Amino acid sequence: MSGATMTHARVRSSRPAEAGITLVELMVAVTLSSMAVAMIFAVYSRSSSAYHTQSGIAELQQTLRAASSQLVKDVRNSGYLAQEVATSLGELKAVTVHNNDGSEGSDWFVLTWADTGTSAQVKPVNPPFNAAVSTIVACNPDPFCGFADGDVVMAIRTNPAAADFGEACVLAITALVPGGPKLQHNPGQGAPWNQPGNAQCNDLQAGWADGFTLFVSYSAVAYRIHPTDPRGMLEMSPSGGLIANDWRPLALGIVDLQLALRVWNAAGTNLDGDGDVNRDWLSGENMEAVDPGDVLQVRLSLVARNHGDVDWITTVATPELCDPARVANNDLGDHCSFDPTAVAATSRYYGNHIYRHTTETIDVRNLRIGTGTTP
């Protein structure tokens, strides 16, 4: 071998070996990278889920605030000028409560009040006016006082010396008679407002000729939880529940509505055990028969839940809206806490949900729902 060839061979043999990645190293790197990506994705998913959950809770609380505000406003109007209102379908009180009425423990209630935006005073006339035929009213300058055909009106006894002071009945205007002022209430028309002969007004008719009867627009509203909607739906009836199927959706996700009434108890029996013998809380069936003149306060509670299941939360109990020791006489209601996992799949409590609730207390004595016996 020549010298040149040997020199070239020595140069080639002195180069370092070329570096590379083995298959094992590649597999380890891929595995570690996959684990890191999985961990990042898990953290992101949990953070995203928590964000959406918190957003849902915020929406829940906003829904509760808005719904509660609407109901409280209407409760504050209840009983204005009229304590009891006779309708063709029965009598309504300023606050009429239906306790635990077929809706998974929820209450529903009706509120009535007088809307004096449109009003007319009955004239003393001879012969006395007849509610079954027509009503003669004093209007100036409008001969019909702003009323129109089809308007539903409330006739209220406003004579403080009369035994029927504060009582009212509801009629529908079915004709405006030219040459008035006269509002016609034809018997048997305008259902469900007018009965044949407008018999709902029988108890008041005898005293209406003294000029102390006021005709105003009738206002009523009813609230309930839809009895079969598993999502939980707060509904409102603008007729006070008197017109069938006029319930309107108001707020989604509301699963419970509870009422408690604080009333004047002349018997002094201290039903709720709080030491005050004359002021008692009623929270059960006993609310349905209470005299509107004895109502001092209304306590209203709403419960809401988020729409979907939360897989990382297990709800062990719904909010406590009663005192188990005094279910019918406490200041919250009579729907005691329970385990929602034990309910049927058709229940609005079924699944893992986040619950929030709010409670408002409304004093109604300022509208004089209470009579002279109520402090």
φ/ψ of residue 36, rounded to 5: -65, -45
End-to-end CA distance of the chain: give it in Å, rounded.
Answer: 129
In degrees, to the nearest 5, what angle opens at C-alpha 321 toward C-alphas 248 and 291?
Answer: 70
pLDDT(365) > 90: no
* Mean per-residue pLDDT of the chain: 83
On the question of pLDDT at 1 being above 80, the answer is: no
Q: Is the peptide bond before 141 cis (omega within 30 degrees of 0)?
A: yes
The sign one gets for the Cα dihedral 264, 267, 270, 271 is negative
pLDDT at 309: 72
Q: Which residues of 70-80 are buried (b: 16+ CB within 10 A; e: fewer)?
A: bbeebbbbbbb
Distance of CA 68 to the CA centre of its chain: 7
| pLDDT the model gives residue 30 | 81
Residue 99 corresponds to which tokens in the numbers above?
């306790």
Q: In whole angstroms, what is the distance from residue 91 CA to residue 168 CA?
A: 10
Q: What is the Cα 349 distance to its own chain's centre?
A: 18
Q: Which residue has the higher pLDDT, 133 or 84?
A: 84
Q: Which two tokens stand for residue 97?
A: 């409560």
**Which residues are CB-neighbours of 309 under 8 A, at least 6 positions away?**
351, 352, 353
Angle value at C-alpha 166, between 76 and 128, nearest 5 degrees: 140
- For 158-172, 287-301, 308-322, which range has the lowest pLDDT when averaged over its residues? 308-322
Residue 161 pLDDT grade (very low, low, confident, very high; cuts 50, 70, 90): confident
Residue 371 has a pLDDT of: 43
- 3-class SS string, 136-149: EEECCCCCCCCCCC
User: Residue 276 belongs to what H/E stretch?
Assistant: none
Check residue 175 and give its pLDDT: 77
Task: Read off the pTM.
Answer: 0.82
Cα–Cα distances in Å, from 20 out to 32, 68, 221?
A: 19, 71, 81
Residue matched to tokens 């379908």: 89
3-state secondary structure of 298: strand
In angstroms, what is the C-alpha Rg of the chain?
A: 35
**Single-letter code of the amino acid located at 44:** Y
User: Which of these, 320, 321, 316, 323, lies nearest to 353 by C-alpha position?
Assistant: 316
Rounded mean pLDDT of 205-222?
A: 82
